Amino acid sequence: MTFRVFPSASGSSAPRPTTLIEITNSSSQSAITGANITFDTLRATRSGHGVSLNASTGEISLSPNHDYWIVASVDVTRGNSVDSYRIAFTDGGGTEITASNGGFDAVYAWHPSSSTTNVPNYTLSATLMTTNAPSSVFLKAMTVVSGASINTNTSILICEVQK
């Protein structure tokens, strides 16, 4: 797959090799505040991409010569119907990647007037868009309440564009 990016340094469009990468997990896991969410499966539309996965730590390694748009679809079963949660991307040092660096967290804030009867789990998205990617990122449970779980429907989709 190739996208044309406008404009290039010379002012014209330039084709750039692009890979779509899906990261998933085959089993649910307990959600613990401050813990990384782990994944065990990586599939890509082509070989030779710059993404790798450490299934035991949740580390997603990124190549410095690529631009990235990363979207995590987060499916959480809350411990009880009035629980809130927040999931965000962090860099390799554990620092949250905030909006000033292209990171946007997934937040579900319970409100007393919200309907919590007979509704499915809330699935929210955390996003990271960067042209200056850190060497690795993690998806971390920043705030969750005891008894919550990260479900197998949680996944990450990465659009990697070669510079």
- Report domain extents, the chain: 22-40+52-62+71-155
pTM of the predicted model as reported, rounded to 2 decimal places: 0.83
User: Which of 34-38, 87-91, 142-146 has the least mean pLDDT?
Assistant: 142-146
Mean pLDDT, the chain, rounded, equals 84
pLDDT value of position 122: 58
Q: Please compute the mean of the pLDDT values over residues 98-123 and round it to a whole number.
A: 69
What is the pLDDT, as a whole number, of residue 118?
A: 45
Q: Check residue 111 and give its pLDDT.
A: 59
CA nearest neighbour of 134 among 59, 76, 80, 72:
59
Coil, helix or strand at residue 100: helix
Residue 44: pLDDT over 80: yes
Q: Is 60 left (phi over 0), alpha (psi -120 to 50) or beta?
A: beta
The winner for highest mean pLDDT among 11-25, 87-101, 121-135 is 87-101
Nearest residue to 3 (alpha-carbon basis) of 27, 28, 20: 20
What pLDDT does residue 120 have?
A: 47
Cα-Cα-Cα-Cα torsion 137, 132, 102, 33, nearest 10 degrees, comes to 20
Per-residue pLDDT tens for 47-84? 989 999 999 999 999 998 899 999 999 888 877 766 77
Segment 33-50 mean pLDDT: 94
The Cβ of residue 51 has, within 10 Å, a number of other Cβ atoms equal to: 20
CA–CA separation, 58 vs 39, rounded Å?
6
Where does 22-40+52-62+71-155 sit in CATH, by number? Answer: 2.60.120
